[in-house]
Chains A and B, each alone.
Chain A
Amino acid sequence: MVKHITTPLTYEKVKDLKCGDNVMISGVIYTSRDAAHKRLVEAHERGEELPYDVKDTIVYYVGPAPAQPGQVIGSAGPTTSYRMDAYSPTMIRLGQRGMLGKGKRSPEVIAAMKEVGAVYFGAIGGAGALLSKCIKKAEVIAYDDLGAEALRRLEVENLPAFVIIDSEGNNLYEIGRKEYLEFANK
């Protein structure tokens, strides 16, 4: 069964999401990678206002390829999330409710997710051509000088993903593997 979720991603919606759920994400989401995260967190530490209100938002860890003529955006699959681990606890505590990427997260990120009620989604790494088709509108809203790493506002429709880590800290990378191995070694 697929769960359809529409942003803003509220606390109530997050509580309903469980590790292993298949989801389709629609609505407005924001992109940032390493360099943009660094700037966001540094801006926050200086007491400055962030380029967008992060409350109940989903961040997509992506640096898209440039759009070809007629495209909204070029290929746009997830980048590896652990590089944002240093910044995520701050962003989560600022209200960022969902993260969309691929790969492992640190215990500190998971602790912040459990504390605040946030969720970590995985999109299929390397499926950038397919995922870009779910993006209906894309606009750079900050850090334009970073090129592919600029902060973008995206409007997405039915972007396919999985719940990798839910707000209780259940982790599909551990549970999914364990269940498969039990099945395979039966």
Chain B
Amino acid sequence: MREINAQDITAVVKKLCMEANYFLPEDIQDKICKACDAEPWPLAQSILGVIKENYEISLDNAVPICQDTGMACVFLDIGQEVHVNGNIADAVNEGVRQGYVEGCLRKSVVKDPLDRVNTKDNTPAMIYYNIVPGDTFDIMVAPKGFGSENMSQIKMLKPSDGLQGVKDFVIKCVEDAGPNPCPPIVVGVGIGGTFDKAAYLAKKALMRSTDERNANPFYADLEKELLEKINALGLGPQGVGGLTTALCVNIETLPTHIAGLPVAVNINCHVTRHKHASL
């Protein structure tokens, strides 16, 4: 049994919260630069230029890329041979608390969805536990902004809706979102599983590098096709018209029931943040 101390989890989560909010992942930077070069519409290109300038300011000064420093989504892949000394959830939340307070990140969490009193330290985190073989302990922190989260949708399609139904629903979500989620967006799609698992898959899809296609060639092709279709909509950066509506579409799937075809679309903005570390 490998032993891990809860304090070490706290220290790593704290660091990841800050770094994820200051430093845009390189694959996203690269996608924005390429989109800027390829964008034929002048206003759209100038907006992409500003977006680039913005993340460069953050990289140079270690300041938040966006003021919405998100709800802290924390993905834990915990090896089954690991024993943690202390409470894992408490350790993660303490890391979020320290990271958001000391890192001058915005506190955007309310304690109750209807009562709406701010917790003032951005806790609690949304924690996703995954037990894996071995003795590794992997942490991914993904601060999720709600401008894009609010534009996400889920639908229980019928099996007869099939592939076309899935495509139509993804396009509809992007169309409905329009300028609201700060395009250019990254689109996470979850297909299959149950109602809740489809939504989880869609979020998980946003954690994958935008340089990496689905391992199944059928879904890899579908990712490319959907990206093309989305970028033919003409919404453009910030929704003011242009080629670059999305930077990437990532799809994740799971087996599902004979009677169902759940599809979830989790939309993320151009400030798609995630940072990973292993203990």
Using a CB–CB cutoff of 8 Å, the interface residues on chain A facing chain B are 20, 35, 62-68, 71, 74-77, 79-80, 82, 102-104, 122, 124-130, 132-133, 146-149, 160, 162, 164, 172-173, 175-181, 183-184
Contact = CB atoms under 8 A, between A and B. Distances in A.
A63 B67 contact: yes
B24 to A, nearest CB: 10
Contacts of B44: 180
A104 B270 contact: no
B65 A80 contact: no
B107 to A, nearest CB: 6
Contacts of B105: 65-66
Contact of B54 (A80, A82, A130): A130
B96 interface: no
Contact of A176 (B43, B54, B55, B106): B43
B243 A74 contact: no
Interface residues of B, number: 48
Given A102-B182, A147-B118, A148-B108, A180 B41 contact: yes
Q: Is the interface of A mostly helix, strand, loop or mixed?
A: mixed
B250 to A, nearest CB: 19
Q: Which 8 residue pairs spanning A and B have beta carbons closest together? A: A176-B241, A125-B182, A180-B241, A103-B180, A128-B67, A127-B54, A181-B234, A75-B67
B64 interface: yes
Interface in B227-279: 232, 234-236, 238-243, 269-271
B54 A65 contact: no
Nearest to A181: B234
B11 interface: no
Interface of B: 40-41, 43-44, 47, 50-51, 53-55, 57-58, 61, 63-69, 104-108, 116, 118, 120, 147, 150, 178-182, 232, 234-236, 238-243, 269-271
Contacts, number: 160
A94 B43 CA distance: 33
Given A130-B50, A130-B54, A104 B178 contact: yes
B65 A128 contact: yes
| A160, A178, A181: residue with the most chain B Cβ atoms closer than 10 Å | A181
Nearest to B118: A147
Contact of B67 (A71, A74, A80, A147): A74
A127 to B, nearest CB: 4
A184 B238 contact: no
Contacts of B104: 65-68, 74
A179 B241 contact: yes
B182 A173 contact: no
Contacts of B51: 124, 126-127
A129 B52 CA distance: 11
A128 B54 contact: yes
A179 B236 CA distance: 12
A96 to B, nearest CB: 21
Contacts of A183: 40-41
A180 B239 contact: no
A40 B270 CA distance: 32
